[in-house]
Amino acid sequence: MAKKEKSQVKESIEEFFESDVSGKSKAEIKKIKKAAMSINYKLGDKRKLFCQKCYKPYNNEDQVRILNGMKRVKCSSCENLRRWKIKD
Protein backbone atom coordinates (compact mmCIF):
# COMPACT_ATOMS: atom_id res chain seq x y z
CA MET A 1 0.00 0.00 0.00
CA ALA A 2 1.40 3.38 -0.94
CA LYS A 3 2.10 6.07 1.66
CA LYS A 4 -0.41 8.35 -0.02
CA GLU A 5 -3.18 5.82 0.55
CA LYS A 6 -2.24 5.37 4.22
CA SER A 7 -2.33 9.11 4.81
CA GLN A 8 -5.74 9.36 3.14
CA VAL A 9 -7.12 6.60 5.39
CA LYS A 10 -5.66 8.28 8.49
CA GLU A 11 -7.28 11.58 7.50
CA SER A 12 -10.68 9.93 7.00
CA ILE A 13 -10.41 8.26 10.42
CA GLU A 14 -9.52 11.55 12.11
CA GLU A 15 -12.41 13.34 10.36
CA PHE A 16 -14.80 10.60 11.44
CA PHE A 17 -13.91 10.96 15.13
CA GLU A 18 -13.87 14.79 15.12
CA SER A 19 -17.65 14.89 15.25
CA ASP A 20 -19.84 13.25 17.89
CA VAL A 21 -19.71 9.45 17.57
CA SER A 22 -23.12 8.92 19.20
CA GLY A 23 -24.80 10.09 15.99
CA LYS A 24 -23.01 7.48 13.86
CA SER A 25 -24.44 4.12 12.80
CA LYS A 26 -23.00 0.70 13.60
CA ALA A 27 -22.09 0.16 9.95
CA GLU A 28 -20.11 3.41 9.77
CA ILE A 29 -18.15 2.57 12.92
CA LYS A 30 -17.42 -0.95 11.69
CA LYS A 31 -16.20 0.44 8.34
CA ILE A 32 -13.83 2.92 10.03
CA LYS A 33 -12.47 0.27 12.39
CA LYS A 34 -11.83 -2.08 9.47
CA ALA A 35 -10.03 0.71 7.58
CA ALA A 36 -7.83 1.38 10.62
CA MET A 37 -6.97 -2.30 10.92
CA SER A 38 -6.11 -2.50 7.22
CA ILE A 39 -3.25 0.00 7.64
CA ASN A 40 -2.32 -1.10 11.20
CA TYR A 41 -3.46 2.23 12.70
CA LYS A 42 -4.09 2.31 16.46
CA LEU A 43 -7.38 3.95 17.47
CA GLY A 44 -6.18 4.44 21.05
CA ASP A 45 -8.74 6.20 23.27
CA LYS A 46 -11.17 6.44 20.36
CA ARG A 47 -11.96 2.73 20.68
CA LYS A 48 -13.55 3.46 24.06
CA LEU A 49 -16.36 5.40 22.37
CA PHE A 50 -18.16 2.33 21.02
CA CYS A 51 -18.89 -1.30 21.96
CA GLN A 52 -16.21 -3.69 20.73
CA LYS A 53 -18.74 -6.48 20.20
CA CYS A 54 -21.72 -4.86 18.44
CA TYR A 55 -20.10 -1.51 17.35
CA LYS A 56 -22.95 0.52 18.89
CA PRO A 57 -21.80 3.94 20.19
CA TYR A 58 -21.96 4.26 23.98
CA ASN A 59 -24.61 6.69 25.20
CA ASN A 60 -26.49 7.68 28.38
CA GLU A 61 -28.53 4.45 28.43
CA ASP A 62 -25.42 2.36 29.13
CA GLN A 63 -24.48 1.50 32.71
CA VAL A 64 -21.27 3.18 33.84
CA ARG A 65 -19.73 2.20 37.18
CA ILE A 66 -16.47 3.22 38.81
CA LEU A 67 -15.06 0.84 41.42
CA ASN A 68 -11.53 0.25 42.70
CA GLY A 69 -9.89 2.41 40.04
CA MET A 70 -11.71 0.67 37.17
CA LYS A 71 -14.35 2.16 34.88
CA ARG A 72 -16.97 -0.40 33.82
CA VAL A 73 -19.32 0.20 30.90
CA LYS A 74 -22.13 -2.23 30.07
CA CYS A 75 -23.58 -1.97 26.56
CA SER A 76 -27.36 -1.52 26.55
CA SER A 77 -27.90 -3.55 23.37
CA CYS A 78 -25.62 -6.59 23.70
CA GLU A 79 -24.95 -6.58 27.48
CA ASN A 80 -21.19 -6.73 26.81
CA LEU A 81 -19.06 -5.48 29.72
CA ARG A 82 -15.87 -3.46 29.10
CA ARG A 83 -13.41 -2.40 31.81
CA TRP A 84 -10.68 0.23 31.72
CA LYS A 85 -8.19 1.23 34.36
CA ILE A 86 -8.59 4.89 35.35
CA LYS A 87 -5.35 6.81 34.97
CA ASP A 88 -4.35 9.12 37.80
∠ CA(22), CA(44), CA(42), 5° rounding?
110
Question: Contact at 8 Å (CB) between 85 and 70?
Answer: yes
Instruction: Give the model confidence (pLDDT) of 15-43 as tens digits.
Output: 999 988 888 999 999 999 999 999 999 99
Listed by start position, the domains of the chain span 3-85
- Residue of 46, 37, 42, 43 lying closest to 1 (CA atoms): 37
Measured CA to CA, the distance from residue 80 to residue 51 in angstroms comes to 8
- Residue of 37, 34, 64, 61 lying closest to 48 (CA atoms): 64
Q: What is the pTM of this model?
A: 0.81
Residue 61's pLDDT is 84
